[in-house]
Amino acid sequence: MITFYNHLHSQHHGKLEMYRGQLVPCFEVPARVDHVLVELKKRKLGAIVPPESFDDSALLGIHSQRYLDFLAGAWDEWVALDPANARRDALPSVWPVRTLRSDVLPANFAARLGLFSMDAGTPLTEGTWDAARAGADCALSAAQAVGSGQRAAFALTRPPGHHAGADFFGGYCFLNNAALAAQALREQGLARVAILDIDYHHGNGTQSIFYERADVFFTSIHGDPLTEYPFYLGYADELGAGAGLGFNRNWPLPRGTAFEVWRAALQQALQGITEFGAQALVVSLGLDTFDGDPVAGFHLQSDDYLSVGADIAAAGLPTVFVFEGGYAVAEVGINAANVLQGFMAAAL
């Protein structure tokens, strides 16, 4: 399996995030990708290469122009407000919630930061745009490889992407890599593409992007939003809307779910993908389902991820894997490599 590695990922390195009412060191750190990279090399799971460069127009199939313009210039604006800001990250503090307008683009930077965000746990740093932009190239390169005949490809990148919507960031995510990969596959001529999100946290951004479309089927297995982030999306009754009705399926599970129950949900999700008639699959590969993850609550063990990979391979589809969450840093490399190894062994 070819891996497209984002060598700029470490330029995004947040200092603090707001978590449960206090500022704490960020859970989403560069070491996450470093551990995966080490494990891939150790097991010799395939070539590891830099991504191709894609024009910014490739992003416009998923993200709005004004959002991309904001992200590209946000750090410079932040520092221009006060040179001391160069030593601290930008975190939003105000949001346009119900009854407030979001159509007008405010002149005030703090107001625009809030307009384009969904939480105070996602610091914007000096290198955020460069890291996220290179990550998008990884996802687009992986989709191009699979669309050109590769059985599978892996976009190894951070920051992650599945919480990012068409015009907002949050949940550590800025550009939606899985959505970009799915759209790229569509533009390569595949009529039906499926996205399987197995991160502990629901991929609200991905769902919202494709919610009214019939050409991309989204299905997610995640912690019940009644108690788990992102809270406001991911319920079982969200089935799509308009042309997309019937092409969205969520499998929320309670905190404490063990692998046997989780795997049964995976089989149901894969059955839905088969019934949809998908010609290719994008997997939002979150590893925060691991028993030791500090911000999640499922009980998968490292060996279980070998079976996860094998089950996904059994769908028989050309597959793009996109790295998402997983915050048990010491184990995330083993768990990611186990999924890919299990997939490759079953796909032979």
Q: What is the DSSP letter of 53?
A: P
Q: Mark whether 12 is an active-site residue.
A: no
Q: CA-CA-CA-CA torsion for 235, 288, 292, 125, nearest 10 degrees?
A: -120
Catalytic residue among 163, 201, 202, 299: 163
Using CA atoms, how far apart are residues 143 and 153, in angstroms rounded to an integer? 8
Query: Which of 214, 290, 277, 293 lies closest to 248 in space, CA to CA?
Result: 214
- In angstroms, what CA-CA distances link 156 with 38, 140, 207, 246, 324? 12, 12, 22, 31, 9
Residue located via tokens 């990979």: 309
Using CA atoms, how far apart are residues 168 and 175, in angstroms rounded to an integer? 9
Q: Could you tell me where the DSSP H helices lie in the chain?
A: 31-43, 65-81, 109-115, 128-147, 177-187, 204-210, 259-276, 304-313, 329-347
Using CA atoms, how far apart are residues 286 and 308, in angstroms rounded to an integer? 12
Q: Which residues are catalytic?
A: 163
